[in-house]
């Protein structure tokens, strides 16, 4: 009787161990299989957060559709990442709905099976009081950050709805949660992104599509060079005397969002550098 129980306990333990290893192998194979099959479309892949995300996704075997206006950078990125995954590049201005439609609808059918859409293209233009602000700058921020995101999503979402799956990552900003002086239009555009993320989630969850809103604090990219129209001294000052985030930090968060199990949806993520506590409070001590 005792031998029987002992044998039973041993074989059960052994069986569970084999089962556990087998399960681990299966999970591993399943993950590779899924990752190999996934396609991500990233807007604003030519620099900063978008470029870092493209590189990280490639390392994780996610096939890529990379978008941006600067063709030479897209070509360079394609040469770098093609040995790892399949890469398709599309050069267009997200603020131009005709270009967006032409380029995206021109994709070969197999590339339209987009699993992950990273709406990242955009940025800030100018940092002035409203009375001194340039209407041209305001139009760029509304056109790229809000309308551009909508134009791209309008084409891609129906493809996801048809397949009853997909993940959308919208890159907002702490500026979308807190308005600061001299930046009201940028803040308004990113508040718009926040509202769109919430609205997309409400409407798309029933279709099996998950929506994540990512709000970074200060990240050292070309963001400030663009905001200050190439004035390097002004741009460098933004990141002086503290350690800002780097694009890779945000790419890590994006990868986390797209790698959670299918029953998990990261709705919102705000990421600051350790030295930052709100949109405008940064402890500059270095
Ligand atoms: N850096 C920060 O501190 C920070 C903080 C919070 C949120 N964000 C947000 O993060 C996103 C990425 O910015 P980043 O920091 O990585 O800045 P970045 O290095 O300047 O990258 C911006 C990207 O957006 C693309 N882009 C801009 N306007 C476009 C347009 N009209 N059409 C197509 N592509 C366009 C750019 O590509 P092309 O010029 O080649 O078109 C570039 O690839 C932006 O939405 C930004 O608002 C940044």
According to DSSP, residue 282 is labeled B
Same domain for 254 and 131: yes
- Which residues are the active-site residues? 186
pLDDT at 10 over 50: no
Angle between helices 184-204 and 149-163 (to 10 degrees): 10
For 9-24, letters b (16+ CB in 10 Å) and e give eeeeeeeeeeeeeeee
CATH number at residue 198: 3.40.50.720
Same domain for 164 and 66: yes
Instruction: Give the pLDDT score at 17.
Output: 52
d(CA 137, CA 143): 10
Number of domains in the chain: 2
Q: Determine contact, residues 176/145, Cβ cutoff 8 Å.
A: no
Query: CA dihedral defined by 155, 97, 141, 253, rounded to 10 degrees?
Result: 20
Alpha carbon of 113 to ligand 1 centroid (Å): 25
Same domain for 119 and 49: yes
- Segment 186-194 shows an average pLDDT of 98
**Pocket test residue of 41, 68, 174, 253 for ligand 1, highest count of atoms within 8 A of CB:** 68
- Whether 195 is covered by a domain: the verdict is yes
Q: Whole domain around residue 17: which residue ranges?
A: 1-37
| 133 Cβ neighbours under 8 A, 6+ residues apart | 126, 185
Alpha carbon of 123 to ligand 1 centroid (Å): 5
Give the number of C-alpha atoms closer than 13 A to the C-alpha of residue 98, restricted to the C-beta side.
0
Instruction: Give the pLDDT score at 161.
Output: 98
3-state secondary structure of 268: strand
- Whether 281 is covered by a domain: the verdict is no
**Pocket test residue of 123, 240, 250 for ligand 1, highest count of atoms within 8 A of CB:** 123
3-state secondary structure of 269: strand
- Whether 112 is covered by a domain: the verdict is yes
pTM: 0.90
- Whether 72 is covered by a domain: the verdict is yes
Pocket of ligand 1 (CB under 6 A): 43-50, 68-70, 93-95, 120-123, 144, 148, 171, 173, 216, 218-219, 221-223, 226, 247
Same domain for 88 and 153: yes
Q: 87-129, pLDDT tens digit by residue?
A: 999 999 999 999 999 999 999 999 999 999 999 999 999 999 9
Instruction: Give the pLDDT score at 286.
Output: 77
Same domain for 133 and 33: no
Give φ, ψ of 65 to 5 degrees.
Answer: -110, 115
Same domain for 256 and 209: yes
Q: 141-183, pLDDT tens digit by residue?
A: 999 999 999 999 999 999 999 999 999 999 999 999 999 999 9
Instruction: Give the pLDDT score at 35.
Output: 45
Instruction: Give the pLDDT score at 242.
Output: 98
- Whether 277 is covered by a domain: the verdict is no
Same domain for 93 and 25: no
Q: Determine contact, residues 68/121, Cβ cutoff 8 Å.
A: yes
Q: 221-264, pLDDT tens digit by residue?
A: 999 999 999 999 999 999 999 999 999 999 999 999 999 999 99
């Amino acid at each position: 009787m005792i031998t029987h129980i002992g044998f039973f306990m041993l074989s059960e333990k052994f069986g569970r161990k084999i089962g556990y290893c087998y399960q681990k192998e299966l999970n591993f194979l399943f993950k590779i299989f899924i990752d190999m099959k996934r396609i991500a479309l990233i807007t604003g892949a030519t620099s900063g957060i978008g470029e870092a995300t493209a590189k990280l996704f490639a390392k994780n075997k996610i096939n890529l559709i990379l978008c941006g206006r600067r063709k030479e950078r897209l070509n360079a990125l394609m040469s770098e990442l093609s040995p790892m995954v399949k890469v398709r590049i599309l050069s267009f201005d997200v603020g131009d709905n005709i270009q967006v439609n032409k380029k995206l609808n021109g994709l070969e059918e197999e590339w339209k099976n987009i699993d992950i859409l990273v709406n990242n293209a955009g940025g800030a233009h100018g940092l002035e009081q409203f009375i001194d602000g340039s209407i041209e700058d305001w139009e760029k921020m509304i056109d790229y950050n809000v309308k551009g995101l909508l134009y791209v999503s309008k084409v891609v979402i129906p493809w996801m709805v048809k397949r009853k799956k997909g993940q959308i990552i919208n890159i907002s900003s702490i500026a979308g949660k807190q308005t600061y002086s001299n930046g009201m239009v940028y803040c308004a555009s990113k508040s718009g992104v926040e509202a769109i993320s919430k609205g997309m989630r409400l409407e798309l969850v029933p279709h099996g599509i998950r929506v994540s809103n990512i709000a970074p604090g200060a990240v050292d990219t070309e963001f400030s060079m663009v905001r200050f129209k190439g004035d390097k001294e002004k741009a460098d000052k933004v990141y002086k005397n503290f350690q800002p985030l780097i694009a890779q930090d945000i790419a890590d968060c994006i990868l986390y969002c797209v790698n959670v199990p299918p029953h998990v949806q990261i709705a919102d993520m705000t990421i600051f550098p350790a030295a930052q506590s709100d949109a405008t409070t940064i402890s500059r001590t270095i």
